[in-house]
């Protein structure tokens, strides 16, 4: 069962309700009104009027109220997304395999993944080497040789039985 105030704030389909729109509209006006009252109060204080301080305080209260609304409103955006890599294409490519197209020399080269060329960082490798993508730095993929990652799995005793090197 949902809280009645929450139902008024948000419709069942997740769209904002009438109260949410009213709070958003008020939040647009509060900083402008607060700044205007601070300017009026400041002008009166400069002229020596004692009521200017009241206008300054009222303007500051409106600005602080707007900040509180904004922080409470933005709190929902602080939660983690259920699709964290949605707009980060390179991060979605981890553990995929590609082929070096331009040799990786000095730590940088290009790999082909599907029909796309990607800039890659990793150990020096000749063109034609199959690589595994380990991570991404913005749009640069970090790679390692695919054979090395497979041989590490064979050498690791915790990963299962090892191959014998018999004659």
Dihedral sign for Cα 111, 113, 115, 121, please: negative
**Cα torsion through 149, 153, 154, 158, rounded to 10:** 160
- Look up tokens 């054979």; give the residue: 147
pLDDT tens for the chain, 167 residues long, are 445 555 555 556 656 677 777 888 898 999 999 999 999 999 999 998 888 899 999 999 999 999 988 887 766 655 666 776 677 777 778 889 999 999 999 989 999 988 889 999 999 999 999 999 998 888 899 999 987 645 444 444 444 444 444 44
Burial class (CB in 10 A: 0-12, 13-18, 19+), 137: exposed
């Amino acid at each position: 069962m949902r809280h009645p105030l929450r139902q008024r704030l948000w419709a069942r389909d997740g769209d904002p309700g009438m109260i949410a729109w009213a709070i958003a509209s008020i939040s647009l006006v509060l900083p402008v009104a607060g700044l205007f009252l601070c300017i009026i109060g400041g002008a009166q204080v400069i002229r020596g009027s004692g009521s200017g301080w009241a206008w300054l305080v009222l303007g500051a209260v409106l600005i602080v109220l707007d900040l509180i609304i904004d922080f409470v409103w933005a709190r929902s955006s602080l939660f983690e997304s259920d699709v964290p890599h949605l707009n980060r294409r390179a991060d979605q490519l981890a553990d995929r395999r590609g082929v070096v197209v331009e040799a990786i020399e000095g730590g940088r080269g290009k790999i082909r993944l599907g029909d796309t060329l990607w800039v890659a960082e990793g150990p020096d490798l000749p063109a034609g080497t199959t690589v595994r993508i380990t991570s991404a730095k913005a749009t640069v993929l970090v790679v390692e040789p695919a054979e090395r990652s497979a041989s590490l799995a064979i050498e690791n005793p915790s990963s299962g039985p090892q191959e014998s090197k018999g004659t």
